[in-house]
Chains A and B, each alone.
Chain A
Amino acid sequence: MPYHYLEEIGTADIAFEATGRDLLELFMATADATMNVMIDNLDAIEPRETRHIELVNDKLDMLLFDFLQELIYFKDAEQLLLRVREVSIDEKDGEFFLKAKTAGEPLDAARHHQRADVKAVTLHDFSVEKQDEGWKARVLLDI
Chain B
Amino acid sequence: MAIIDNLQKISDTVWELPPTYKDGMRVPARIIGTEKLVREMDEAVYQQISNVATLPGITRYALCMPDGHSGYGFPIGGVAAMDVHEGGVISPGGIGFDINCGMRLITTNLTLDDVKPRLKEIVDLLFERVPAGVGGHGFLKLSRDDFRDLVEQGARWCVEHDYGWTEDLELTEENGCISGADASKISERAIDRGYNQVGTLGSGNHYLEVQVAHPEHVRDSELAAKFGITIPNQIVVMFHCGSRGFGHQVATDYLQTFLKVMEPKYGIKILDRELACAPFESPQGRDYFAAMKCGLNMSFANRQVILHRIREVFSEVFGRSAEDLEMRMVYDVAHNTAKLEKHKLDSRERTLLVHRKGATRAFGPGHAEVAARYREIGQPVIIGGSMETGSYLLVGTASGAETFFSTAHGSGRIMSRTKARKQWHGKQLQRDLETRGIYVRSTSWAGLAEEAGPAYKDIDEVIAATEFAGISKPVARFTPIGNVKG
Contacts and interface: CB of A to CB of B under 8 A. Distances in A.
Contact of A116 (B273, B276, B444): B444
Contacts of A15: 416, 418
Interface stretch (B69-77, B105-113, B399-407): B69-77
Interface string B424-466: 0000000000000000000111110010000000000000000
Nearest to A40: B446
Interface stretch (B165-173, B246-254, B284-292): B246-254
A61 to B, nearest CB: 10
Contacts of A114: 133-134, 203, 443-444, 446-447
A10 interface: yes
Contact of B446 (A72, A76, A79, A115): A115
B134 A119 contact: no
Contacts of A120: 97, 248, 251-252
A142 interface: yes
A75 interface: yes
Contacts of B71: 11-13, 124
A143 interface: yes
Given A13-B71, A77-B193, A140-B72, A119 B418 contact: no
Interface string B52-96: 000000000000000001111100100000000000000000001
Interface in A115-137: 115-117, 119-124, 126
A26 interface: no
Contacts of B422: 7
Interface residues of B, number: 51
B98 A116 contact: no
Interface in B220-271: 244-245, 248-249, 251-252, 255
B272 A124 contact: yes
Contacts of A11: 42, 69-71, 76, 413-416
B138 interface: no
Q: Interface majority SS on A: helix, strand, loop or mixed?
A: mixed
Nearest to A124: B72
A96 B205 CA distance: 37
Q: Interface majority SS on B: helix, strand, loop or mixed?
A: mixed
A90 interface: no
A69 B98 CA distance: 15
A76 B417 CA distance: 22
A53 interface: no
Given A11-B414, A114-B444, A122-B274, A73 B189 contact: yes
A39 interface: yes
Most chain A beta carbons < 10 A, residue from B273, B274, B418, B422: B418
A117 B192 contact: no
B202 A117 contact: yes
Given A12-B413, A76-B197, A117 B418 contact: no
A29 B468 CA distance: 48
B376 to A, nearest CB: 36
B24 interface: no
A123 B273 contact: yes
A99 interface: no
A58 to B, nearest CB: 11
A143 B272 contact: no
A3 interface: no
Given A14-B417, A38-B134, A76-B245, A116 B450 contact: yes
B98 A123 contact: no
Interface in A1-34: 5-15
Contact of A10 (B97, B136, B248, B416): B416
Given A13-B72, A119-B248, A8 B416 contact: yes
Given A76-B245, A117-B136, 4 more contacts: A7-B416, A10-B416, A126-B273, A143-B205
| 5 nearest A-B pairs in the assembled complex, by CB-CB distance | A76-B245, A124-B72, A123-B273, A76-B193, A77-B192
24 contacts: A7-B418, A8-B416, A10-B416, A10-B417, A11-B415, A12-B205, A13-B72, A76-B193, A76-B197, A76-B244, A77-B192, A77-B245, A107-B135, A115-B134, A117-B134, A119-B245, A120-B97, A121-B252, A123-B255, A123-B274, A124-B71, A124-B72, A142-B248, A143-B417
